[in-house]
Structure 1
Amino acid sequence: MPTAAPGATKIGFLGIGIMGNAMAANLIKDGYDVTVWNRSADKCAALQAAGAKLAGTPAEVVSSCDITLAMLSDPEACLAVAMGPDGVASAMKAGKGYVDVSTVDAATAQEVAAAVRGAGGAYLEAPVSGSKGPAEQGQLIFLSAGDRQLFDAASPLLEVMGKASFYLGEVGAGANMKLVVNMIMGSMMVSYAEGLNLAKQAGLQQADLVEVIKLGAIACPMFALKGPSMIEGKYPPAFPLKHQQKDMRLALALGDEHAQQLPLAAAANELYKRARAAGYSDADFSAVMDAVASRK
């Protein structure tokens, strides 16, 4: 499979949400011929204005492109887009590649891989570490596994969209790594929210806590970035809370699979579930702050 290059490789992108829009935009800016698809076609308008072509189905995208990427919301969406009517597998053939950058469980990745490979194509899972800001800045981290030939061919694309790419081996390894990373991140956010709320209850200035943490051994870019808006009770979505809770759920299932107790993650997941029930599904995952602060 030839290495991707602007002007020579036609790229497809399925799923134009917060992340997909930014990632596809960076490919267009780098000179790639990009064809996009989204269930709600109106979300593709900005990319069309930037030069992207619009397709009516995932199959149309795959048919016209050499490498197709997908950033979809959950396992159900990934399976439907890959294997449903007019899906990816229906148009896949030898010489084409499918790179799924969604966050799903290993079993879903393996099922999609089997469908793509069964149709003659190459498959790579490459879930990303990073949210809206890194996606816009081309600073994502790709956790890849699957067909090494496709990883090598798609590496220039990953370099446009990210700052690092890891090849982790067989399909499923990328999904598992992403779930572990997001489980840690989700648990950290709950701990941070608890600390901010406890500081307030104890009569301390929350802004002082943000600064103390920023200067100490537990300094963390996520804390520094999210702290000020959490104090204000504002949660503009960079990584929607519903997706964080989905990842916590999948990580807990992975723990069950390996008989690994995850008591901290399980407790954090309950707070994300409470936040979803309170109407914060589409807010940033830092909105778990309100679930922590609630005394109901």
Structure 2
Amino acid sequence: MIEFINNKHLWIEMSTTDEKEMIRLSKLIESKGANVLEAPVTGGQHKAESGNISVLTAGKRENFDRAFPILSEIGFQVLYCGKLGNASTLKVVTNYLASINLLSIGEALMVCKKYGIDLKKAYQGIKISSGNSFVHETESQVILNGSYDVGFTMDLVCKDVGLFDQLTNNLNIPAEISPLMVKIFNEGRKKYGDRSLSTGIVKLLEEKCNTDLRTTGFPSQLLDEEPRKKGIEIKS
């Protein structure tokens, strides 16, 4: 596609990547006279399908303003993050947080199950507590159902936690949790395959404990029950 772009075009890059790759792409596109905006999305497949996904953007402000009418049709909350590379980095950070949430939820639910707490009560108890999270309210449901269906695969989560770990190394941050996460998710990838569901990492724990986390009353797929909302810019 790049060979066909010119100074009339605006390239909107929506992949999850790192700053280095984003800068490489931007230089290639700008060499053709076109403008660039990065705009990765976050919030899960169910939010993407409903049009209520969140969009993180970065690049020149005039490129954001030009793209906003399009982005407001793609998603609901749209955040301008500043210079090119900021949105890619922030997206990697948010995916890291979601992934660590997933691991902790699996362990938390397993403790509840082994202790003898009804898993429906456990789900609701976490939901109304300070330990609640977006990941718990969504991914816990398909874990408890047994479908594990979040529409996100093991190769992608391994890529994301790997990008975050690379960031900590590049920034000389002595992170301890990040390398452990890389190890755990790579174990899941090796066992279940690249295209297995990322929530299968909880299945790995279930198999090690010889205990499943099944209960009734939870959906096999996530649906966004909120009506489609017109996109807005989130001011920081």
Where does residue 77 of structure 2 map in the other structure? 164
The CA distance in 1 between the partners of 2:166 and 2:107, in whole Å, is: 25
Point out where structure 1 has 5 or more consecutive residues left out of the alignment.
1-58, 60-87
Output the TM-score relative to the length of structure 2: 0.83
Match of 2:160, SS state, is helix
Match of 2:33, as an amino acid? G
- Partner residue of 2:9 out of 93, 96, 110: 96
Match of 2:50, as an amino acid? Q
Which runs of structure 2 are paired with 1:66-105 in the superposition (5 Å)? 88=2, 90-105=3-18
Point out where structure 2 has 5 or more consecutive residues left out of the alignment.
210-236
Match of 2:115, as an amino acid? A
The CA distance in 2 between the partners of 1:152 and 1:138, in whole Å, is: 20
The CA distance in 1 between the partners of 2:6 and 2:183, in whole Å, is: 43
Which runs of structure 2 are paired with 1:193-232 in the superposition (5 Å)? 193-232=106-145
1:140 is aligned to 2:53: yes
Instruction: Mark the CA change 1:117 to 1:130 in structure 2 (over 3 Å): closer, same or farther.
Output: same
Residues 237 and 283 of structure 1 are in contact (CA less than 8 Å); yes or no, is this contact kept in structure 2? no
Report the aligned-residue RMSD: 1.7
1:129 deviates by: 1.3
The CA distance in 2 between the partners of 1:157 and 1:229, in whole Å, is: 32
Which runs of structure 2 are paired with 1:33-182 in the superposition (5 Å)? 59=1, 88=2, 90-182=3-95
Instruction: Mark the CA change 1:220 to 1:105 in structure 2 (over 3 Å): closer, same or farther.
Output: same
Match of 1:146, as an amino acid? G
Percent identity of paired positions between Structure 1 and Structure 2? 21
- Partner residue of 1:243 out of 142, 156, 163: 156
Where does residue 22 of structure 1 map in the other structure? none
Deviations 1:240-289 (A, max 9, x none): 23211110000000110111122222222222111111115323322210
Residues 271 and 292 of structure 1 are in contact (CA less than 8 Å); yes or no, is this contact kept in structure 2? no
1:288 is aligned to 2:201: yes
- Partner residue of 1:190 out of 103, 106, 116: 103
Output the TM-score relative to the length of structure 1: 0.67
Residues 275 and 287 of structure 1 are in contact (CA less than 8 Å); yes or no, is this contact kept in structure 2? yes
Deviations 1:171-226 (A, max 9, x none): 11111111111111111110001111222222332222111001112222321222
Where does residue 170 of structure 2 map in the other structure? 257
Which structure would you say has the larger RCO, counting Cα contacts within 8 Å and 6 or more residues apart?
2
Where does residue 273 of structure 1 map in the other structure? 186
